[in-house]
Amino acid sequence: MNVRHLSFRLLQVYVEVVRLGSVSRAAARLHLTQPTVSQQLKRLAEAVGTDILEGRAGGVRPTRAGEELFRAARDVLNRFSDFGDFVDQVRAGSRGRFSIGVVTTAKYILPRLLVPFYRDYPNVEITINIGNRGHVLERYRQDADDLYFFSHPPVGEKTLAGRFLANPLVLIAPQEHWAAARRQVPVSELAGERFLSREPGSATRLVFESWLRDNDIRLANTMQIESNEVIRLSVGEGLGLAVLSEHTISAGAENLAVVDAEGFPLSSYWYLVCHGDRPLPPPARRFVRHLDGHLEECVAPRYIHNELGPILDFISASDRES
Amino acid sequence: MNVRHLSFRLLQVYVEVVRLGSVSRAAARLHLTQPTVSQQLKRLAEAVGTDILEGRAGGVRPTRAGEELFRAARDVLNRFSDFGDFVDQVRAGSRGRFSIGVVTTAKYILPRLLVPFYRDYPNVEITINIGNRGHVLERYRQDADDLYFFSHPPVGEKTLAGRFLANPLVLIAPQEHWAAARRQVPVSELAGERFLSREPGSATRLVFESWLRDNDIRLANTMQIESNEVIRLSVGEGLGLAVLSEHTISAGAENLAVVDAEGFPLSSYWYLVCHGDRPLPPPARRFVRHLDGHLEECVAPRYIHNELGPILDFISASDRES
DNA sequence: TTACTTTATAGATAATCATCTATGAACGTT
DNA sequence: AACGTTCATAGATGATTATCTATAAAGTAA
């Protein structure tokens, strides 16, 4: 048996012939002439090395080896039909893999964005890489992930970024702090407090510092802590005040108060970011589209600021390409 | 995915490339040039409709879809390798089917001939068609079976027959019959007895009648019974005497005596018969060869009269043909 | 940078394939 | 015997395939 000259087409034809028990009828069904089919059968028999069909009243019937060939052919065609389905899914993006780089702060909203997608596309595997802003920026530069969540998107010729979620920054204090009971506290009055903040480069810190500069306020006493959790707990313990994403604090409520300070909450956003010079893998495209269509299922309406347009356009362009 | 342009050769090449992780090395192993393999991969990707390989340090690596294609290809090639083995077995005759037509008398020796063959070739299925001589002759004329056992082979231009087994016909009587105690009884003395015999046309009867004619003996009283078993039992019960194959009576010994009569046992043989104008199916060839080589395992040496030569020659000729 | 990989592309050619029309051979049914 | 099936064979043709050599492009290691 020389498998080398075996083609799937021959098997398809053969299967049809055996199913219908007739060369002519198979030819008709396959939109071929009868001699064509006869000849293909001949070539198949040659490749197999044995007679596979024998004449029968008004048609043909497989020989012993032919029966077995029929089974093998059926199995093989089915196997590849399965594979075809798989490829279709891969192409449609409903199956496959992609990765997201996210800054630590985003981990509070990430699950809410991911769960509905997982529900609709159980065969997509998402790899999530979490790090601080510096870390994720580095990954972005190396093109290590397909999509990124940034609070301050990196700038760059080919960077595509789309705002899609409000990320209000609130001022938090221990519940027993004097400012917790006031309304519209001028922040200048808080300048003497100790402030706990993330490392330099953190988006939250960038926004806060920029705001301080704009309002000509200089803080007297700051403390750097590289974890939102620890900051939150420390504020609860009375170690100081802090500016944190509202999403972060809604997660736990241990003895914290949101101070109603002038100018607060500070306005800030989450951006979906990707490289504009390389097509996204299909599952990532699926994800962006899904995100675009299902934001209201993920978060409260007041957070939604859907400006994903440019990224969606980019994706549509990629679709047309391939 | 267009299965139509998929060939097994492409899959073989692809599998080799993925296994070795390198186009060049696969090319070397397949005795092809590297561009050839590259081009085949391109066609394969085209047929599949997706990229299946991506560059990697010093070689290539399958994409997501490529991995799945690799699995499918491996499965499919294995499936056909199994089928190839099957075909080889069919061609060698160690797998398949054939049929034998036998006259009822032969059923006593048939199992002994078949069992050793079954032991050596468990994948060969034998269909046995048993009937009286007329019935089997009719099947022979219609070419309904591949091999036949006859005691008197049919004559015909294209009939191949080979004697291989003695089938002595003995005269049996009830144990208490007067002839049972005598030696060299002249059959003329038995002419007055009632004889039980098979239907006209039966080989046993033909031989006996021919012998009677040769010895100018005419029986007074006969009774026709179409079953060797019933004849045997009837003789045991004292209904009369009978001439039966020695093989037949060794099967049961109910109150029977073999009469030591003059001229007995009558000489007769089993013939293996087939049509000489059509090649035997490979399993039937295997069977004949096996029979030729294992007669002494099947029956006592005194029965063996192996004259299968012409049939074996015919078989060898068929082998060379295909 | 240079040298040595690696894979990809281009161009050429002989083989093969897919497909048709026309025709023949075998078989069963009027 | 004549007819209508069924499958097989022959001959023709354009498309595709298998395969090569030569060369380019891209990446890796010195």
Residue among A64, A87, A90 minimizing CB distance to B96: A64
For residue B253, pLDDT beyond 80: no
Higher pLDDT, A14 or A220: A14
Reported in sequence order, the residue ranges of chain B that DSSP labels E, i.e. its strands, are 53-56, 59-62, 96-103, 124-131, 147-150, 159-166, 169-174, 194-197, 221-224, 241-245, 256-259, 269-275
Prior bond of B265 cis (ω within 30°): yes
For residue A322, pLDDT beyond 60: no
pLDDT-derived band of residue B275, with 50, 70 and 90 as boundaries?
A: confident
Percent of chain B with pLDDT over 70: 98
**Chain B residues near residue A84 by CB distance under 8 angstroms:** 1, 3
pLDDT-derived band of residue B41, with 50, 70 and 90 as boundaries?
A: very high
For residue B142, pLDDT beyond 80: no
Cross-chain residue pair A96–B68, CB shorter than 8 Å: no
pLDDT of residue B134: 85
Compute the Cα dihedral for B42, B48, B49, B50 and give only its sign.
negative
Higher pLDDT, A6 or B318: A6
For residue B251, pLDDT beyond 60: no
A59: which nucleotide lies closest, measuring CA to C1'?
D6
C-alpha of A314 from chain center: 15
Q: Whole-number Å distance, CA B133 to C1' D1?
A: 37
For residue B23, pLDDT beyond 60: yes
pLDDT of residue A251: 53
Cross-chain residue pair A87–B65, CB shorter than 8 Å: yes
Q: How far apart are CA A46 and CA A5, in angstroms?
A: 9
Best of B50, B82, B286 to mutate (most A CBs within 10 Å, chain A): B50
For residue A157, pLDDT beyond 80: no
Across all residues in chain A, what is the average pLDDT? 88
Give the 3-state secondary structure of residue B322: coil
The domains located in chain A, with CATH, are 3-92 (1.10.10.10), 96-166+268-321 (3.40.190.10), 169-259 (3.40.190.290)
For residue A252, pLDDT beyond 60: no
Q: Whole-number Å distance, CA B213 to C1' C18?
A: 72
CB B193 within 8 A of CB B202: no
Q: Whole-number Å distance, CA B316 to C1' C17?
A: 36
pLDDT of residue B289: 94
Return residues 29-58 of A near B (CB < 8 Å).
48-50
pLDDT-derived band of residue A26, with 50, 70 and 90 as boundaries?
A: very high
pLDDT in tens, B93-118: 898 888 899 988 887 888 888 989 99
**Neighbour-count burial of B268, counting CB atoms closer than 10 A to its CB (0-12 exposed, 13-18 middle, 19+ buried):** buried
pLDDT-derived band of residue A10, with 50, 70 and 90 as boundaries?
A: very high
CB A105 within 8 A of CB A152: no
pLDDT-derived band of residue B300, with 50, 70 and 90 as boundaries?
A: confident
Q: Phi then psi for A321, rounded to 5 degrees?
A: -60, -50
**Neighbour-count burial of B149, counting CB atoms closer than 10 A to its CB (0-12 exposed, 13-18 middle, 19+ buried):** buried
Cross-chain residue pair B87–A49, CB shorter than 8 Å: yes
pLDDT of residue A253: 66
pLDDT-derived band of residue B31, with 50, 70 and 90 as boundaries?
A: very high
**Neighbour-count burial of A60, counting CB atoms closer than 10 A to its CB (0-12 exposed, 13-18 middle, 19+ buried):** buried
pLDDT of residue A310: 92
Higher pLDDT, A111 or B157: A111
For residue A139, pLDDT beyond 60: yes
pLDDT of residue B161: 93
Measured in angstroms, the CA of B12 and the nearest CA of chain A are apart by: 8
User: What nucleotides of chain C have any atom within 7 angstroms of a protein Cβ?
Assistant: 5-11, 16-23, 27-28
